[in-house]
Every structure is written in structure tokens, then in C-alpha cells.
């Protein structure tokens, strides 16, 4: 692996990230065509169903692709039932001499097959360049194809004494305006936002990003969601899924369906089952912004949550009945505490933001 390979692969990763949340259920992919040490074409997968990164890059390079090196952040696709033609054939026809690939496709149906076809076509293949960064970028895609579950992050804002609302339920606002603006931008990177029925009934949230409208998921065992809730009234503008348990009122469910709400009927207490079903809906990256009970439920399910983001505001409100961010029964021993890895600590106005990955 050369520093040149790393430099051009970093560019491919930068391009891949531009796909945001618009490529799901496809991965984020960037490609760079290099000839004579210079970039002659580049591209990224922009939207699901649209041309792949390699297509954009080869088109931009034109005749200069012959004898060139292509850097791709994920293994080029091979023949497989899909919306777009295989990129392996495209690279061979374009006369690419060498392909540098960050990571293999985690999909077991095609894993390693694209690399094999490139080699058969006489293209020299190098793998593993910037593999860690590429895996982090496509963590949701990898988790779905290796474990059948979406990538899940939990987020909450709390006071210095660990409260998310006062004893009366007032939570507007715990965090600063700057932190709330950052959260809206972060929401743009997710396919869906999940809350519990308690949060919905208390706050009647809209659950939008800055530029996107991620799918809204409500965990609502008995379908208590009011027909005049914001998420119901805007269900035809922004996808909304209500996860309910069998036996919920059919009349209520019919009214919600007529308003444009998608009903997911299953055992809502089995969160692994719920998240598997959501992954099957193409929702590969989900932000959980529920209350303390929802947070406790998802966190106690091993391997479900991948990331936590906590805003701590310099405020103290007290109150033994004031809500906390993670409720439930809790753990009996400190040795069993969930620990964050790769922790980052930043400032957002007067707030402190702690982010980290949960060790699996």
C-alpha cells in the first residue's frame, strides 16, 4: 500500500459520503479514476436506483480511463438481480488496468465475486486500502448484511444532574439552540427516527431534519397515537410507521392507515424483531430519540445499539420524580455497565457533547 493509494482512496471516501441518506438500501460508494498520477474522473453513488459511483467516474474520464487506475471505496458490483448493470463489466470494457478497492461487499450473495471477475478480466486488484475508514462509512450497510439489523444510535439531552425533563414533564428546552440546530443536521444522515408513544403524546414532535424528511417510527403497542398528531397529519408528506402489537383497535388502525400511516403489526416488546422488520423496510440507519423507557429497552438488548450521543446542559433541576434518560430496572453491578469506545467530547455552545460507540 502506497501513500498515493491512500491519498486517492481518501478522495473516493470523501465523494462517497456525499450520498448522505439518499442511497439506501444501497451503500455509500465513491470512485476516482487516476492516470499518470492525476485524477481524470470521479463520481459517487448519488441516489438509490441511479448510476453507481464507477459509472460517473468512468464517464468523466472518457477515453482516459484506458490503462488507468480506479479507486473504489467498496467492491464493484457483479452480475446480480438489481436496478443497474454490473460495474465489473464496465471497468473491463473501459480498459481499466488496476482497481484499488477499500473493502469487499458484505452481501454474502456477491462477497468477493466482483474482485474475482475483475482479475479474470486481466485487471490487477489491490484491496484493504483505507479499509477501516471505509467500514465506518458503511457501518449500516455492513451490519444489515452481516447481522440482519440496522445501525442504531441513541441520543438524548440532559441536565447536569441527569434529568431529561422536570417533574411536570417540561423539557423545552434542555439543550441550547446551537445543539438543537446540530441535531437537526445530524438527523439528515439517518434513514429513520424512532420514538415511543410517550414522547409522541407528551411532545407531539414533527421529527424532521434540516434538509431531509427521514421516516418516522412510533413504538405504540396499543395504537394510542391521536389522529390529529403532527406525525399523522403529515404522514403523506413524510413516511410514518406505527409499530403496534396484535390486538390493537382495528377501527383506530383503519383511521391511521387512511391518513397515510404505515402499520407494522408485530410483538413490539421484542425489539430485535422490530428492528429486523425495519431493516427489511430498507431503513438501515435509525436514530432513537425516545424517552427513558425506550432508551432502556433498546440498550438492554445486546448488540442492538451501536452509538450514543449525549448533550449535557449546564442546568440543574432536581426532583426525585423528574425523568431520567435511561430508566427501567437498571443494572445491579457497576461492572456490568455499558461502556463507550472511541469517545469524543466536544462543546456546543454551553453544552458538552459526548459521543461514542458501544462495544458489542
Residue 359 has pLDDT above 80, yes or no: no
Q: What are the DSSP calls for 317-355, one per residue?
A: ---TTS--SS-SS--S-GGG---EEEEEEEEETTEEEEE
**Catalytic member of 6, 14, 42, 54:** 54
Identify the CA nearest to 35 among candidates 10, 61, 68.
68
Binning pLDDT at 50, 70 and 90, where does residue 81 land? low
102 DSSP 8-state letter: S
Q: What pLDDT is stored for residue 164 in this prediction?
A: 96
Quick one: average pLDDT of 118-147?
A: 96
What would the grid cell of residue 200 be?
A: 409522541
If you average pLDDT over every residue of the chain, what do you get? Answer: 94
Q: What pLDDT is stored for residue 24 in this prediction?
A: 84
The total number of structural domains that make up the chain: 2
Q: What pLDDT is stored for residue 84 in this prediction?
A: 65
pLDDT digits (tens, 9 = 90+) for 2-25: 789 999 999 999 999 999 888 888
pLDDT digits (tens, 9 = 90+) for 317-330: 999 999 999 999 99
Question: 286 Cβ partners below 8 Å, 6+ apart?
Answer: 150, 151, 152, 153, 190, 191, 192, 193, 194, 217, 275, 278
54 part of the active site? yes
Domain-ending residue, one of 114, 144, 174: 144
Quick one: average pLDDT of 135-150?
A: 95
Q: What is the CATH number of the domain that holds 92?
A: 3.40.140.10
pLDDT digits (tens, 9 = 90+) for 43-71: 999 999 899 999 999 999 999 999 999 99
Q: What pLDDT is stored for residue 80 in this prediction?
A: 66
Q: What pLDDT is stored for residue 290 in this prediction?
A: 86
pLDDT digits (tens, 9 = 90+) for 168-180: 999 989 999 999 9
Binning pLDDT at 50, 70 and 90, where does residue 276 land? very high
Q: How far apart are CA 28 and CA 18, in angstroms?
A: 8
Quote the domain boundaries for residue 30.
3-144
Q: What pLDDT is stored for residue 110 in this prediction?
A: 87
Domain-ending residue, one of 88, 115, 144: 144
Residue 1 has pLDDT above 70, yes or no: no
Judgement on whether residues 88 and 35 belong to the same structural domain of the protein: yes
Q: How far apart are CA 223 and CA 264, in angstroms?
A: 11
pTM value > 0.75: yes
Helix, strand, coil percent values for the chain (each to nearest 5): 30, 20, 45
pLDDT digits (tens, 9 = 90+) for 331-341: 999 999 999 99
pLDDT exceeding 90 applies to what percent of the chain?
86
Judgement on whether residues 167 and 269 belong to the same structural domain of the protein: yes
Task: Provide the angle, in degrees to the nearest 10, between the axes of the packed helices 113-120 and 87-94.
Answer: 20
Q: What is the CATH number of the domain that holds 271?
A: 3.40.430.10
Amino acid at each position: 500500500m502506497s501513500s498515493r493509494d491512500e491519498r486517492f482512496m481518501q478522495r473516493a471516501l470523501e465523494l462517497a459520503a456525499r450520498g448522505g441518506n439518499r442511497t439506501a438500501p444501497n451503500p455509500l460508494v465513491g470512485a476516482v479514476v487516476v492516470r499518470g498520477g492525476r485524477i481524470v474522473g470521479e463520481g459517487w453513488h448519488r441516489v438509490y436506483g441511479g448510476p453507481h459511483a464507477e459509472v460517473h467516474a468512468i464517464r468523466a474520464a472518457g477515453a482516459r480511463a484506458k490503462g488507468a487506475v480506479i479507486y473504489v471505496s467498496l467492491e464493484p458490483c457483479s452480475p446480480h438481480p438489481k436496478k443497474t448493470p454490473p460495474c465489473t463489466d464496465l471497468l473491463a470494457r473501459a480498459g481499466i488496468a488496476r482497481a484499488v478497492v477499500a473493502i469487499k461487499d458484505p452481501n454474502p450473495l456477491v462477497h468477493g465475486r466482483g474482485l474475482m471477475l475483475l482479475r479474470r478480466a486481466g485487471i490487477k486488484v489491490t484491496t484493504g486500502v483505507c479499509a477501516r475508514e471505509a467500514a465506518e462509512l458503511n457501518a449500516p450497510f455492513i451490519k444489515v448484511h452481516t447481522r440482519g439489523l440496522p445501525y442504531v444510535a441513541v441520543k438524548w439531552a440532559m441536565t447536569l444532574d441527569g434529568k431529561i425533563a422536570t417533574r411536570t414533564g417540561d423539557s423545552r428546552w434542555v439543550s441550547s439552540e446551537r445543539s438543537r440546530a446540530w441535531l437537526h443536521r445530524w438527523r439528515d444522515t439517518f434513514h429513520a427516527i424512532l420514538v415511543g408513544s410517550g414522547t409522541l403524546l407528551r411532545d407531539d414532535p414533527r421529527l424532521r431534519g434540516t434538509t431531509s424528511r427521514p421516516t418516522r417510527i412510533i413504538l405504540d403497542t396499543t395504537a394510542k397515537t391521536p389522529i390529529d398528531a403532527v406525525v399523522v397529519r403529515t404522514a403523506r408528506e413524510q413516511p410514518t410507521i406505527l409499530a403496534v402489537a396484535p390486538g390493537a383497535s382495528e377501527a383506530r388502525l383503519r383511521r391511521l392507515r387512511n391518513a397515510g400511516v404505515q402499520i407494522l403489526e408485530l410483538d413490539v416488546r421484542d425489539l430485535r424483531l422490530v428492528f429486523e422488520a425495519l431493516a427489511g423496510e430498507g431503513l438501515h440507519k435509525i436514530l432513537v430519540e425516545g424517552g427513558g423507557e425506550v432508551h432502556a429497552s433498546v440498550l438492554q438488548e445486546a448488540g442492538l445499539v451501536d452509538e450514543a450521543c449525549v448533550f449535557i446542559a449546564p442546568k440543574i433541576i432536581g426532583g426525585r420524580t423528574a425523568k431520567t434518560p435511561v430508566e427501567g430496572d437498571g443494572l445491579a453491578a457497576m461492572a456490568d455497565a455499558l461502556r463507550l469506545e472511541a469517545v469524543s467530547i466536544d462543546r456546543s455552545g454551553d453544552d458538552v457533547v459526548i459521543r461514542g460507540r458501544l462495544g458489542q
